[in-house]
Amino acid sequence: MLDLVIKNGKVVDGSGLPGFVADIGIKDGVIVQIGRGQQEAAEEIDASGLVVAPGFIDPHTHFDAQLLWDGAAKPAIEHGITTIVPGNCSLSLAPLKAEHRMKLVGMFNQIEEMPHKAFAQGVEWNWQTFPEFLARIGENLDINVAQLVGHSVLRLWVMGEASMQRIANASEIESMCALLEECLCAGAIGLSTSFVDMDERLQPVPSRYADTAELDALCAILSKHNKILQVVHEFYDSDLTLARVDQLAELSLKHGINTTFSPLFVSHDNADSAQRILQRVQEHTARGARVWPQVQTRPIDISFNFAVPSLLFMRLPKWYALMRFNAPDQIIAKLQQADTRAPLIAEAQGMMSLWERLILRQVQTPENQGLVGKSLREIAELRGCDALNAMIDLSLEEGLEAHFLSADMGHNDDQLVGDLLKHPNVMVGASDGGAHILSFATYGDTGYLLGHFVRDQATMSLESAVKKITSDPANLWGLGNRGMLREGFVADITLFDEAHIDRGSEHFVQDVPGDGSRYVRDAHGVHTVVIGGAIAFDSANGYRHAHRGQIIG
């Protein structure tokens, strides 16, 4: 008898070929039969009217810490995700010596906006090495994890404070290579590095002090194990990005490795730059290099308040320093005083068009409830001031608990984004799931791809879109017998309603250790998610917590 059979669904198997109606039989976590008239099973799913696809793969997440208290990596599974890739942007939670823990927490707080309280109350630091960390997160997994090792933590382990001050010498590079090899042998799927990120002191992260000799040596180790290099490039500058693409291509050709960089954004403002970058990728692909840009499908929504540093203020040094280096009562005092408020207003005046578009999404006081949902332009008109002063005044009135929403930033042209997404050299990625929990509703990429660009815009076929989020990343990241519906493959399967799937709506949930909130998206149109042959989630009953997730290495 089979363990599970999925009947009558439209099978879109991840190959890109046309879908077909079939039943899928599962035994011991593996697909054993695909066809009609399957034998009896202990459990049956009637998939009539649904698409049956391989489980979706998310190649850019930061669930590293969340997995320690939430083996389902919520809300990933709800969106059809069966495999996540944490450890991006040069940051992983291992290998990590005890004396460097708070340094890493500071970097996660600065770069990924993950609260100190979540680490303090949700993380029991009972590992140091990479094998110990994988064993720790593997205890109660509902989702599959393909873990990257971070370049910055390799440098911290080997060089200590010097990792944030200088390039490595030959002996230190040799030690980093040996450490990377240990991580890869334990199950890491590759190395992540960053050329842009800053630490909690607003100084470059350790990986940015590496020279070309260090990166070349580490790539030689990746080559030995056939593993991938992930890079956060200088996405704010097209010329620097082109130079980085050239470097990745040379590393790929020399060492025979896959490389990927993220994020690649496209909007009205940078359409020409995005095309130049993609053209350069194509030129290197023709030479045999393997360089893959990661592109988000959805517009970016950012929610923020003045109590927490927001990436929206990164271009405003006075504002960012105010939020980063002051307690809430100090922020309030400085915003109340004319002599400290005036230079802040002067610095932010040039972004008035952005402030005017912001939506007031949440307040605490009854007096301001009637303003929720209005733009700051509308509120400013009601109050007889400009949008910037309206934002500051509302923040003061709410004790910094006024939340503002900047909706649909970037990716604001369906034609431009669609052309990018359907390009054969582009991978869907950079969701940042698990990070920016107070500001970004990070999930919804897969739903937006299948709902908006496939169903509504007809930018690409259903089959090609499914391939983009299943077999393509499985092959690029070396995930073995996953990413397709084939006999002998692991039974990671997502069932969804193609007529209703979408990115979902955003809201706050209170489930972060330390009484913290997350800004998340509900999934729309995902019916059932099977991981390792067991139902992990269905829309009627929620999570089942079968603990069938695996560490993939």
Q: Is the pLDDT of residue 517 over 80?
A: no
Task: Summarize pLDDT for 479-512 with one digit per residue, the tens.
Answer: 999 999 999 999 999 999 999 998 776 665 655 5
Task: Summarize pLDDT for 210-250 with one digit per residue, the tens.
Answer: 999 999 999 999 999 999 999 999 888 889 999 999 999 99
Asked whether 40 and 7 are in contact (CB, 8 A), the reply is: no
At 175 the three-state DSSP class reads helix
For the chain, what are the domain ranges? Answer: 56-299+410-477+484-496, 302-408
Task: Summarize pLDDT for 180-193 with one digit per residue, the tens.
Answer: 999 999 999 999 99
Task: Summarize pLDDT for 424-450 with one digit per residue, the tens.
Answer: 999 998 677 766 655 555 677 899 999
Residue spans of alpha helices (H) in 256-337? 271-286, 317-324, 328-336
Q: What does the pLDDT read at residue 405? A: 83
Q: What does the pLDDT read at residue 510? A: 54
Of 3.40.50.300, 2.60.40.10, 3.20.20.140, 3.20.20.80, the CATH number of 56-299+410-477+484-496 is 3.20.20.140
- Mean pLDDT lowest among 4-18, 32-46, 49-63, 142-156: 32-46
For the ranges 102-111, 154-163, 261-270, the maximum mean pLDDT occurs at: 154-163
Contact residues for 469 (Cβ-Cβ < 8 A; gap 6+)? 56, 57, 428, 446, 449
Count helices and strands in the chain by DSSP H and E runs: 18, 23
Q: Is the pLDDT of residue 14 over 70?
A: yes
Q: What does the pLDDT read at residue 437? A: 56
- Mean pLDDT lowest among 4-8, 10-14, 185-189, 315-319: 315-319
Q: What does the pLDDT read at residue 307? A: 84
Q: What does the pLDDT read at residue 520? A: 66
Average model confidence (pLDDT) for the chain?
A: 91
Q: What share of the chain is helix, strand, coil (3-state, %, to 5)?
A: 40, 20, 40
Q: Is the pLDDT of residue 324 over 90?
A: no
Q: What does the pLDDT read at residue 518? A: 59
Task: Summarize pLDDT for 362-378 with one digit per residue, the tens.
Answer: 899 999 999 999 999 99
Task: Summarize pLDDT for 332-345 with one digit per residue, the tens.
Answer: 999 999 999 999 99
- Mean pLDDT for the stretch of residues 442-468: 93
Q: Residue 341, exposed/middle/buried by CB under 10 A (0-12, 13-18, 19+)?
A: middle
- Mean pLDDT for the stretch of residues 370-399: 95
- Mean pLDDT for the stretch of residues 113-122: 80
Residue 384 per-residue DSSP state: T
Express as a percent the part of the chain with pLDDT over 90. 73
Q: Is the pLDDT of residue 515 over 60?
A: no
Task: Summarize pLDDT for 53-87 with one digit per residue, the tens.
Answer: 999 999 999 999 999 999 999 999 999 999 999 99
Q: Please give the Cα distance from 503 to 530 (Å, whole number).
A: 20
Indicate the pLDDT class of residue 268, thresholds 50, 70 and 90: confident
CB atoms within 10 A of CB 503: 26
Indicate the pLDDT class of residue 16, thresholds 50, 70 and 90: very high
- Mean pLDDT for the stretch of residues 280-306: 90
Joined tokens for residue 86 = 């944490």
- Mean pLDDT for the stretch of residues 322-338: 93
Q: Is the pLDDT of residue 161 over 70?
A: yes
Express as a percent the part of the chain with pLDDT over 70. 94
